[in-house]
Amino acid sequence: MSKPRGEPRRKSKLLKHSSNHSQPSSDNSSDKTSLSINASKPVPQNNELKPGLYIIATPIGNARDISLRALDTLRIADVIVCEDTRVTSKLLAIHHITRPLMAYHEHNSELAGPKIINRLKRGEIVALVSDAGTPLISDPGFRLVQACAREKIYATHLPGASSVLTSLVLAGLPTDRFLFAGFPPNKAGKSLSFFENLKFVQATLIFLENPKRLVKSLNNMAHIFGPRDAAIGRELTKKFEEIRKGSLQELSDHYTLNGMPKGEVTIVISPPTTNEMATPKQDIDRLLKKVLAISSLKDAVSAVVKETGASKRDVYTRALELKIQFK
């Protein structure tokens, strides 16, 4: 979808096979093998699926990364709502699917959204896809889900490929807690503030970025986050898939020297270290003096602990010392 959008748009052709497979021939027996159609189970008819919104993940690069359930649903949907009809048409052609398409993106969501909801109210089966990956990740599809909830319309998700999770899995960084932050702002001032607000988030951070802005973003990240470990994912699931690892500055130096990569990229950054999380004593003193001037001791301690993440015992002890000095 138009920015902001979900999974990165793949401008090259979807791969029909992994690099270890040859391209399928046009004969019928080869088609059945290459498309992995489950011939032992008949394709469901419309009356076997309840009317509603079916949010379907599509491949992020390799066309074979789509589930049998997703293909079954796409084959019988009354309409397929998509980001770009040209992109979705190519995927459907690979799998020999022909269904009506309807565009839905950031620029037409206010106009197209009510039309989609009216179709759902009439009892239609509506499939929602993005150009690549899982819909609703940084795209306006969430508004349709909200509308379905208000109108008590059935909605479900058919899970599958995601550049965000694929990059996280391959980055080799902590996965127990992570934050997807989408695309950073374009303007330098806003970009720095954006990263500054995420500096002390105790989680692995995941961003999407346009290759033209990659070096600039990496430099801003290195300035704010320091020498943290990071990984750049590109061409995910495709023949030339790459996960490049190093510090933020090392990655910036690499792409400055070698030029911007092809295709949009995913940036994964390690969580802050213990040293990063430690707030300098002078900063705690400054905050305490400011808050103690207008609040009680208890409220001042709570405010500073919340702001800095410092130990409540340490902040309370220091607050008592400063309180005595004020008298």
Instruction: State the pLDDT at residue 278.
Output: 65
The pair of structure tokens assigned to 146 is 């909200």
Instruction: State the pLDDT at residue 134.
Output: 96
DSSP secondary structure code for residue 313 in this structure: H
Q: What are the average pLDDT values for consecutive 10-residue runs of the chain, which has 327 residues?
A: 48 49 36 37 63 97 96 98 96 97 94 97 97 90 96 98 96 97 91 92 96 96 95 95 97 96 93 75 84 88 82 86 74
φ and ψ of 326, to 5 deg: -70, -25
Instruction: State the pLDDT at residue 273.
Output: 84
Instruction: State the pLDDT at residue 35.
Output: 37
**What is the Cα–Cα distance from 264 to 7, expressed in whole angstroms?**
9
Q: Which residue is it, tokens 């999380």?
A: 277
Instruction: State the pLDDT at residue 138.
Output: 80
φ and ψ of 47, to 5 deg: -75, -5
Helices 214-225 + 248-258 axis angle, to 10: 160
Which residues, in sequence order, are CB contacts of 184 under 8 Å at separation 6+? 191, 194, 195, 207, 209, 213, 217, 220
